[in-house]
Amino acid sequence: MTKNKHKDKKGPLLDVKKLKTYFYTEEGVVHAVDGVDFHIMPGETLAIVGESGCGKSVTSLSVMQLIGQPGEIIEGEIFFNGENLLAKSEYEMCKVRGNQIAMIFQQPSGCLNPVFDIGYQVAEVLEVHQALGEETGRKRAVEWLSKVGIPDAEKKSSAFPHEISGGQAQRVMIAMMLSNLPDLLIADEPTTALDVTIQAQILELMDKMQDQFGTSILVITHDMGIVAEMADRVAVMYAGQIVEQASVFELFDNSKHPYTTALLASIPILGERKEKLSTIPGSVPNLVDLPPACRFAPRCQVRLEKQMTRCTEEMPPLFNVTDNHIARCWVYEDKK
Ligand SMILES: Nc1ncnc2c1ncn2[C@@H]1O[C@H](COP(=O)(O)OP(=O)(O)OP(=O)(O)O)[C@@H](O)[C@H]1O
Ligand SMILES: [Mg+2]
């Protein structure tokens, strides 16, 4: 699945090291992202998966440095093209955000300005970031709207956001993001709000863009179907930490962490009708009060079956289970 477009480039495009992002709330310190490491190679797609509230969005917002009060990146390094983004000024970050890293949010329509037609909004991005004149900008904007599959783009470009469907708004957003040819596209639950057909079209479009331009993609999703379809590698997050990371094939075929295995068991299998999906009993722990132990231990069947006591006493590190496959579980201790 790896596109290998940029195999001549050796280093990762994005390299996140020991990232910690906390929120200082009245209830206490929320350990939203608590020591996360991952990287993305040029042209590669990494998926981050995990239950609601485990820190996926905060991770991506940290990369963009869009964490507002009461949140703060308290530790870590985020290298992009070899430069530490955390050392950049807000002015420099603005340039990175507009040109090199683009982010597609969950609620696309909220990001479009209701006062301007969609052609104008795409053209504006092009004009600002690529220093195009108004006429060329507008012409290019129509080309991009057509590329993202907006029918009759010329005519539709004078439509206002309220005159287009949710799926089309999402495409306009994608056109705005991709027209700058970013090196990295961050897509946070990019298709949750869309129906299945539109979803598939958007994913296909992102894939095409990747093939054509060698874009790296960080996709955040609950949907294992999207993971299987798009990702080269997968990072599974649980309670602010990465608990498993592997190639998509390895993860689906040979998951190691009990949480991943439970997560995979809870998805419907295509073509197979399941009366009732198995769910993971219990819930994600409160990120304010975290014991210095495995965060999944209270819900872990493997711990119960194997009667492991260490799990509730000590935090497991990430163990190498095989090449390029890591899991945060004491079961794999001897494999370190
Ligand atoms: N502004 C904030 N103030 C306080 N806590 C926050 C804030 N933003 C996020 N959090 C907390 O950080 C944790 C991680 O949130 P995050 O949005 O990253 O979860 P997520 O994995 O993206 O979930 P979902 O799948 O529902 O989008 C949650 O416990 C959340 O309550
Ligand atoms: Mg989220």
Query: pTM of the predicted model, to two decimals?
Result: 0.89
Residue 220 lies inside a defined structural domain of this protein: yes
Residue 314 lies inside a defined structural domain of this protein: yes
Q: How confident is the model at residue 1 (pLDDT cuts 50, 70, 90)?
A: very low
Q: What is the pLDDT of residues 27-48, one digit of tens each?
A: 999 999 999 999 999 999 999 9
Ligand closest to Cα of 55 equals 1
Domain housing 171 = 14-115+160-335
For ligand 1, atom 7, which residue shows the shortest CA distance? Answer: 23
Alpha helices, DSSP H, located in 216-320: 224-230, 248-253, 258-265, 301-306
More confident residue, 324 or 178: 324
For ligand 1, atom 16, which residue shows the shortest CA distance? Answer: 55
Tell me, what's the pLDDT at 147? 81
Task: Please tell me the total count of domains within the chain.
Answer: 1
Residue 136 lies inside a defined structural domain of this protein: no
Q: Which two tokens stand for residue 187?
A: 């897509």
CA of 56 to the centre of ligand 2 (A): 5
Q: What is the pLDDT of residues 238-248, one digit of tens each?
A: 999 999 999 99
Pocket lining: 190 vs ligand 1, CB cutoff 6 Å: no
Ligand closest to Cα of 50 equals 1
Using only C-alpha atoms, what is the Rg of the chain?
21
CA of 52 to the centre of ligand 2 (A): 7
Lowest pLDDT segment from 179-188, 265-274, 323-332: 265-274
CATH code of 266's domain? 3.40.50.300
Residue 88 lies inside a defined structural domain of this protein: yes
Best residue among 30, 74, 238 to mutate for probing ligand 1, ranked by most atoms within 8 Å of CB = 30
Residue 73 lies inside a defined structural domain of this protein: yes
Q: Which two tokens stand for residue 47?
A: 């998926």
* 3 has pLDDT over 50: no
Strand partners, 104: 187
Pocket lining: 298 vs ligand 1, CB cutoff 6 Å: no
For ligand 1, atom 28, which residue shows the shortest CA distance? Answer: 53
**Index of the ligand 1 atom closest to the CA of residue 284:** 29
**Cα torsion 322, 53, 218, 222: sign:** positive
Residue 306 lies inside a defined structural domain of this protein: yes
d(CA 265, CA 19): 29
Q: What is the pLDDT of residues 43-70, one digit of tens each?
A: 999 999 998 899 999 999 999 999 999 9
Pocket lining: 23 vs ligand 1, CB cutoff 6 Å: yes
Q: What is the pLDDT of residues 193-233, one digit of tens each?
A: 666 666 777 788 788 889 988 999 999 988 888 899 899 99
Residue 179 lies inside a defined structural domain of this protein: yes
Best residue among 26, 58, 259 to mutate for probing ligand 1, ranked by most atoms within 8 Å of CB = 58
Ligand closest to Cα of 68 equals 1
Pocket lining: 52 vs ligand 1, CB cutoff 6 Å: yes
Pick from 196, 202, 158: which is nearest to 177 by CA? 202
Tell me, what's the pLDDT at 220? 92
Residue 5 lies inside a defined structural domain of this protein: no
Tell me, what's the pLDDT at 335? 58
CA of 222 to the centre of ligand 2 (A): 9
